[in-house]
Structure 1
Amino acid sequence: MKHLTILVPNGENNLSSIVGSYKIFNRANAIFTAKGRNAVFTIELVGTSQKIGFYDDLFTVQPHKKLSEIKKTNCIIIPSLNHNFDSAVQENQEIIDWINKQYHLGAEVASICTGAFLLAATGLLEGKMCATHWSAAAVFKQRFPNINLQPDQLITDENGIYTNGGAYSFLNLILYLIEKFYDRETALLCSKIFQIDMNRSQQSEFIIFNGQKEHEDEAVLEAQEYLEQNFQEKISIAYLSEKLHITRRNFDRRFIKATGVTPLDYLQRVKIEAAKKQLENYPKTVTEVMYEVGYNDAKAFRDVFCRITGLSPVEYKLRYNKNASFIEK
């Protein structure tokens, strides 16, 4: 039987991602044994402390084993770290070194949400794809510029390393792993038992674009403010760079370095974020919203909206505006 390690790191972690992983994998084992088949995994919670507190010690977890007792495992689950990324990395260096060692011994590794920061600290993600919670994407890019971050993706799978997007989307990752290590029938049954939608593949529609401003490039900050305040107008990026007395090529380079996106992509995301709010809250048609955010080409608006959110404007309105009761043509 293979061994599954669900890590319980020191510091502030997300209890739900630990409990949820443990519960669903145990159910998959039970499904297999009920059919007369052998359970796939021995499932254990593992940490470096005997007891870890959660939510001001309202809850506590006592791992089955200490990390030093696990000489070899086959699969590792890294839970979400909430948002204290730096302290989590500092407090869990022993776990980081252990993950690296186990991967090179043949273990597969999966990180949940912001657990990607702990996984990235191992160096195993260098040059590889990675997903994490959309709200942590900008910070992640700054800390780990050589990792191919996929902020829109729900799950990445590369060379035995799996990552996923934010919050409860970890349930989709667990089903993905169950299909891989058990079979699709078991994954489908788990999805029905726990009522998890297996068809989700992106977290694009949940992203709230705020713009990365944790940088020290004053000219780029000025450009961001200009784009956010004037997005309804027809804006020329060449005019904006000239206004800031920066060559267009250098402006693009500095903007990407500071924010992670091009000036044009930034402007498009500002427009689409404004459009999303209009579609969510007001009884306006898609065409009315399109004009309000500065588009006059329906196809261009739809294409950009779909690229950024994964949904068409009509689909988005029907899903998120409770008063939307008709389909626009």
Structure 2
Amino acid sequence: MKEIAILIHEDAVFSTVSGAMDMLIHTNRLFHESGKPLPFKIMLVGEKSENEFLRNPEPYVGYSAIADLKNPDLIIVPAFYGDRGVIPQKHQTLINWMNSMNKKGTEVASLCSGSYFLAEAGLLNGKSCTSHWFDKDDIMSRYPAVNFLSDMVITDDRGIYTSGGAFSSLNLVLYLIDKFCGREIGIWASKMFSLDMDRTSQSHFAVFKGQHQHNDDEILKAQNYIEQNHHQELNIDKIAGHTNMSKRNFIRRFKKATQNTPFEYLQRVKIESAKKALEKGAQNINLLMYDAGYNDIKTFREVFKKITGLTPQDYRKKYSRDIPSFAGIDVYNSIN
């Protein structure tokens, strides 16, 4: 039996706690009804010895203070709401406990933004990780020793597991059930919770935000020029000319500021433009392609699929719908 400790605190996104609990509980229930030993001992773990708000009457779940839980097999860290720089510091006691358990052999898994707790503990140094795509730039800036893979839904690196954003974190719980209980049970859980087995990418969810959070004004000028003129015929020499830099120096500074080469940045801006048109229901792929700045349909399709993981047609089917206008609301920069 694996003892799994799910961290709880007042800033936790409870859907990630309850979602993980539901999947683990139902797996236990399957084993119980089959007359077999339960695979998981599930513990809700917090700093306090009493937590009435999160007390759960479910027979498959226990509650413990961290001081009383000696050696769990796995700790699951939920997502959280709030300032990415403040909340992990607020819960440093939990992070220190998690770190000490890991040194004793306990594996650790994070759901969505729970990866910040792992990064703060140093558990992700030199390891691959993922998180919500919105956090990519911030994590790379705060924790340069982390190999952040924003496109991935799941990472598994030497006993440290991380998941993609929001409800895609349930794919990590499915992965853990499959790993600990075997493929047959993994397939059962996949069907029971309507989750795709072996899903690897979250790239089609991502919104390219432009990486403007740096202090290089000349590169910001180049970024703005690309974003305003991406539909025209642009090349690196032309873009560099707007910054009064040599081509070589421009490419070096651009990569340092944005983590993309100028060419990569241009492609991402073009594809983001195409994605927005497809989301609004654009039917003519060729016209959309020209508006985005491409003149070759094969190249457009290849770049679109490389960046999003979907063909333009599949992306339109997945995200095109009649939606109300939210004029004046920056929905992407309002995400916590």
Q: Same fold (TM over 0.5)?
A: yes
Secondary structure at the aligned position of 2:194 is classed as coil
Aligned to 1:3: 3
Q: How far apart are the structure 2 equivalents of 1:82 and 1:304? A: 34
Q: How far apart are the structure 1 equivalents of 2:281 and 2:22? A: 41
Deviation of 1:253 after TM superposition, in Å, equals 2.6
Deviation of 1:52 after TM superposition, in Å, equals 6.7
Q: How far apart are the structure 2 equivalents of 1:252 and 1:105? A: 46
CA contact (8 A) 1:113 1:170 kept: yes
Aligned to 2:145: 146
Aligned to 2:15: 16
Q: How far apart are the structure 2 equivalents of 1:111 and 1:271? A: 33
Deviation of 1:14 after TM superposition, in Å, equals 0.5
Q: Structure 1 unaligned segments of length 5 or more: list them.
A: 54-59, 324-329
Spell out, residue by residue over 1:277-320, the C-alpha distance to the aligned partner (whole angstroms, 9 max, x if none).
Answer: 11221343211111111101112111110111000112212222
Amino acid of the structure 2 residue aligned with 1:96: I
Q: How far apart are the structure 1 equivalents of 2:130 and 2:14? A: 20
CA contact (8 A) 1:12 1:84 kept: no
Aligned to 1:326: none
Q: Structure 2 unaligned segments of length 5 or more: list them.
A: 56-61, 323-336
C-alpha change, 1:102 and 1:266, in structure 2 (3 Å) is: same
Secondary structure at the aligned position of 1:64 is classed as strand
Aligned to 1:118: 117
Amino acid of the structure 2 residue aligned with 1:261: N
Aligned to 1:288: 287
Secondary structure at the aligned position of 1:221 is classed as helix
Alignment root-mean-square deviation, CA:
1.8
Aligned to 2:260: 261
Aligned to 1:305: 304
Amino acid of the structure 2 residue aligned with 1:30: R
Percent sequence identity is 41
Aligned to 1:196: 195
CA contact (8 A) 1:141 1:260 kept: no
Amino acid of the structure 2 residue aligned with 1:113: C
Aligned to 2:34: 35
Amino acid of the structure 2 residue aligned with 1:206: F
C-alpha change, 1:237 and 1:83, in structure 2 (3 Å) is: farther
Deviation of 1:16 after TM superposition, in Å, equals 0.4
Secondary structure at the aligned position of 2:86 is classed as helix
Q: How far apart are the structure 1 equivalents of 2:125 and 2:26? A: 34
Higher mean C-alpha displacement, 83-92 vs 105-114: 83-92
Aligned to 1:105: 104
CA contact (8 A) 2:222 2:242 kept: no
Secondary structure at the aligned position of 2:294 is classed as coil
Spell out, residue by residue over 1:89-110, the C-alpha distance to the aligned partner (whole angstroms, 9 max, x if none).
Answer: 1111121122222222111111
Secondary structure at the aligned position of 1:110 is classed as strand
C-alpha change, 1:256 and 1:83, in structure 2 (3 Å) is: farther
Secondary structure at the aligned position of 2:293 is classed as coil
CA contact (8 A) 1:154 1:201 kept: yes
Amino acid of the structure 2 residue aligned with 1:61: L
Q: Does 1:251 align with 2:250?
A: yes
Spell out, residue by residue over 1:122-160, the C-alpha distance to the aligned partner (whole angstroms, 9 max, x if none).
Answer: 111111111010111111111011211001111111101
C-alpha change, 1:41 and 1:199, in structure 2 (3 Å) is: closer
Aligned to 1:242: 241
Taking structure 1 as the reference length, the TM-score comes to 0.91
Deviation of 1:173 after TM superposition, in Å, equals 0.8
CA contact (8 A) 1:125 1:147 kept: yes
Deviation of 1:224 after TM superposition, in Å, equals 1.1
